């Protein structure tokens, strides 16, 4: 039918016909089992198509239904007209709704932008820990508070190198942000490993790495910054001690632990 129609209304339908792909053609054959004397082989030679068939676009269906003279064409034409009437009524009756949706989307985008600006501004205004600090004997809380600020400032990783650690260090590391990886390099201690096991069963994992040899100084790595600790974290502030920001890359410190 399509080939005959195309010959009769070629000038009218030239812009409303598409050549199907091989995949689409296979689907048409399996579902519709369509045949045509010009597009398919003769019965005794098989049933595969010789050429990829054409298909009408939406506009083409409407136009061809107005050209063909058959009950099916009339039915298609009526259904198309009804569909457009229903569509027009739906759009007209819901115009206000569509407008409100567009308005809400615009407001949501504006709100997201403002929130992003606020978060960036908060990061800029948030006081960062001082590069160096000196704690007098007995300033236990000041030292603990400073260490807590360092832990909270981490965005990617925290690495502590300290020969003497206990459960107080684990309590300190619970202050880190979600997603920040924490690793402790320390000597082997079964009591601490027991504490670590119980901690990891409830909170974000803290990794343990046994020091291969004794390390005299203590180091704290926050992302890409390295701090030299004048005392073990658990003893910070019990005696005169300092925390100093170093210019040495973390990779250099870690290379000496191998």
Together in a domain, 42 and 148: no
The verdict on residue 115 lying in a domain is no
**Measuring CA to CA, how many Å separate 136 from each of 106, 133, 230, 241?**
56, 10, 12, 7
Q: How confident is the model at residue 7 (pLDDT cuts 50, 70, 90)?
A: low
Radius of gyration of the chain from Cα atoms? 38
The verdict on residue 58 lying in a domain is yes
Together in a domain, 148 and 82: no
The verdict on residue 92 lying in a domain is no
pLDDT digits (tens, 9 = 90+) for 93-140: 888 888 888 889 888 998 888 888 887 776 666 555 666 889 999 999
Together in a domain, 152 and 226: yes
Domain housing 153: 132-255
Together in a domain, 82 and 151: no
CB 151 within 8 A of CB 227: no
| Model confidence, pTM | 0.52
Q: What's the number of domains the chain is made of?
A: 2
Average pLDDT of the residues in 207-228: 90
Decide if pLDDT at 242 tops 70. yes
The verdict on residue 211 lying in a domain is yes
Together in a domain, 251 and 145: yes
The winner for highest mean pLDDT among 81-85, 129-133, 221-225 is 221-225
Query: What is the pLDDT, as a whole number, of residue 157?
Result: 96
Least confident window among 10-19, 72-81, 213-222? 10-19
Together in a domain, 164 and 249: yes
Residues with Cβ < 8 Å from 222, sequence gap 6 or more?
150, 151, 153, 154, 157, 158
Together in a domain, 222 and 139: yes
Q: What CATH number should be reported for the domain holding residue 153?
A: 3.30.870.10
Together in a domain, 163 and 240: yes
The verdict on residue 172 lying in a domain is yes
CA–CA gap between residue 165 and residue 6 (Å, rounded): 86
Tokens of 76: 């298609």
CA–CA gap between residue 219 and residue 229 (Å, rounded): 6
- Looking at every residue in the chain, the average pLDDT score rounds to 79
Tokens 């203590």 belong to 218
Q: How confident is the model at residue 31 (pLDDT cuts 50, 70, 90)?
A: very low
Together in a domain, 219 and 151: yes
* Angle separating helix axes 71-93 and 95-125, nearest 10 degrees: 50
Together in a domain, 69 and 147: no
Together in a domain, 182 and 80: no
Q: Smallest Cα–Cα separation from 159: which of 217, 115, 225? A: 225
The verdict on residue 119 lying in a domain is no
**Measuring CA to CA, how many Å separate 189 from each of 73, 85, 173?**
87, 80, 18
pLDDT digits (tens, 9 = 90+) for 129-158: 666 889 999 999 999 999 999 999 999 999
Least confident window among 69-73, 97-101, 159-163, 224-228? 69-73
The verdict on residue 126 lying in a domain is no
Q: How confident is the model at residue 1 (pLDDT cuts 50, 70, 90)?
A: very low
CB 136 within 8 A of CB 208: no
Together in a domain, 81 and 136: no
Q: Smallest Cα–Cα separation from 22: which of 61, 60, 57, 48? A: 48
């Amino acid at each position: 039918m399509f080939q005959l129609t195309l010959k009769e209304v070629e000038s009218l339908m030239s812009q409303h016909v598409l050549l199907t792909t091989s995949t689409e053609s296979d689907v048409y054959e399996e579902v519709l089992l369509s045949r045509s004397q010009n597009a398919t082989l003769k019965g005794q030679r098989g049933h595969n198509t010789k050429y990829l068939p054409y298909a009408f676009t939406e506009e083409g269906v409407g136009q061809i239904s107005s050209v063909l003279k058959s009950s099916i064409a009339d039915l298609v034409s009526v259904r198309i007209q009804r569909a457009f009437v229903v569509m027009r009524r739906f759009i007209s009756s819901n115009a206000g709704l569509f407008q409100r949706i567009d308005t809400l989307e615009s407001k949501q985008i504006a709100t997201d932008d403002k929130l992003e600006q606020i978060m960036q501004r908060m990061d800029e205004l948030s006081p960062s820990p001082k590069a160096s600090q000196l704690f007098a004997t007995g300033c236990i809380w000041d030292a603990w508070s400073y260490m807590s600020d360092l832990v909270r400032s981490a965005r990617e990783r925290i690495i502590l190198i300290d020969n003497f650690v206990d459960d107080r260090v684990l309590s300190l590391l619970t202050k880190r942000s979600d997603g920040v990886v924490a690793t402790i390099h320390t000597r082997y201690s079964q009591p601490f490993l027991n504490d670590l096991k119980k901690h990891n069963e409830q909170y974000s994992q803290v990794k343990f790495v046994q020091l291969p040899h004794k390390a005299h100084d203590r180091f704290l790595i926050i992302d890409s910054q390295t701090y030299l600790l004048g005392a073990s974290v658990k003893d910070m502030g019990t005696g005169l001690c300092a925390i100093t920001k170093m210019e040495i890359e973390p990779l250099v410190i870690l290379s000496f632990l191998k």
